[in-house]
Amino acid sequence: MFGKVFAGIAAAGVLAGVLATGAMAAPAATSPTPTTKQRPAAKDAFGGIVTAINESQLTVKNTKQGSKTFARQDTTVVVKGRNEKASWSEIEINSRVLVRYETRDGKLYAKRIHIGRPHVAGTVASVNGNVIAIRTRDGKDVKLTVNASTKYFEITGKKQRKPGSLKDIHAGMRLIAAGSYDSSHNFDAALVAYRSK
């Protein structure tokens, strides 16, 4: 059930732009978001969530293809947003990344890494002022901090959404948020997407 909720959010194509650039993706009706069906599958590209990183390599997990570990090279390029130059140190655990890589001697070497925004998903436990407490699928409790600039939207159907608000969020609801972690490992939410049913 949980997976189906977020499959619908992903199918709506609205989070792709947010996670990659931090900006609200345009509605599909006016500006279609490219999908994997429209792009040829690249053998040298792998997208997913960063689960481990050190100075010499990073591990990325993809729900369909499992995990892959990529070695850092002197020539590895890191970008974020709309191809803005970034550094290896800006890659964080839970960041969504797309890695272009090459294979040599049975090892994967990162050529280019595009950093998206970290995101969390889970079931709402409580809403207290500007803090939304959620529990993730793996049982972790995370506090989402929202503010006046946080954007909300409700997924109403495939490729359909409407503006929402904090008052729509309640215990038991499943949601996904894009943003960043603070020094206390709380999550500052820039965007919150949810289904009311």
Q: Domain segments of the chain: what residues?
A: 2-22+118-194, 45-115
Residue 110 structure tokens:
């990162």
Reported CATH class of domain 45-115: mainly beta
pLDDT tens, position by position, 111-137: 999 998 778 899 999 999 999 999 988
Q: Does position 14 have pLDDT exceeding 50, yes or no?
A: no
Select the more confidently predicted residue: 13 or 85. 85
pLDDT tens, position by position, 130-158: 999 999 888 889 899 999 999 999 988 88
Distance of CA 63 to the CA centre of its chain: 13
Mean pLDDT of the chain: 80
Which string of DSSP letters, residue by residue, matches 19-71?
HHHSSPPPPTTTSPPP-TTTSPPPTTEEEEEEEEE-SSEEEEEETTTEEEEEE
Q: Does position 168 have pLDDT exceeding 50, yes or no?
A: yes
Q: Does position 60 have pLDDT exceeding 80, yes or no?
A: yes
Decide if 119 contacts 96 (C-beta within 8 A). Answer: yes
Determine the pLDDT at residue 58.
96
Determine the pLDDT at residue 21.
40
CATH superfamily of 2-22+118-194: Nucleic acid-binding proteins (2.40.50.140)
Which residues does 172 contact at the CB level (< 8 Å), separation at least 6? 123, 124
Q: Does position 81 have pLDDT exceeding 90, yes or no?
A: no
* Reported confidence tier of residue 76, pLDDT bands at 50, 70, 90: very high
Mean pLDDT of 173-193: 86
Domains 2-22+118-194 and 45-115 share a fold: yes
